[in-house]
Amino acid sequence: MRRLAPVVLLLGPACATGATAPSASISLHNPVQATADLQFTPREFTVSVGDSVTFVFGSVSHSVEFQKGEELKAYYGGASSAGAPANVDVSANATAVRAFPTKGSFKYRCTVHAGMLGEITVQ
């Protein structure tokens, strides 16, 4: 049986980056927090095909860049991740929702902070 992801409604001004200002009154589905101590929490996260993940940025600017082509292959090691969602541009005090319609392992990094890595596994 296929599990459907709940719809996440984000209120706030839309940004050119696809991120919006976070709202304390909304419950986030599958949140990954980009923290002030330069970590993604949780660093590794598993979701089902079709689920979405909400990246939450506080007052420190962060980004999410998924491993996609040869240019990132050396940084991450191994093959690139076909089917990765769109990157999230540098933002602060914002949230961004990305859907994962493809099974696989999707590694990502913050382009602002070296060593800030994460991985979404889609089953």
The pLDDT value recorded for residue 35 is: 94
CA distance 58 to 93: 5
Give per-residue pLDDT as tens, 3-45. 434 433 333 333 344 555 544 444 578 999 999 999 999 999 9
Residue range 82-93: mean pLDDT, rounded: 89
pLDDT in tens, 36-76: 999 999 999 999 999 999 999 999 999 999 876 555 565 56
Superfamily classification of domain 31-122:
Cupredoxins -  blue copper proteins (2.60.40.420)
Say which residue, 77 or 103, is predicted with more confidence: 103
Residues 51 and 75: their CA atoms lie apart, in Å, by 27
Task: Give me the residue spans of the domains in the chain.
Answer: 31-122
DSSP the chain: -PPPPPP----S-B-TTS-B---TTSPPSSEEEE-TTS-EESSEEEE-TT-EEEEEE-SS-EEEEE--SHHHHHHH-S---TT----EEEESSEEEEEE--S-EEEEEE-SSSTT-EEEEEE-
Q: What is the pLDDT of residue 39?
A: 96
CA-based nearest residue to 33, from 10, 61, 56, 58? 56
- When pLDDT is averaged across residues 88-111 and rounded to a whole number, the result is 92
Q: What is the pLDDT of residue 103?
A: 93
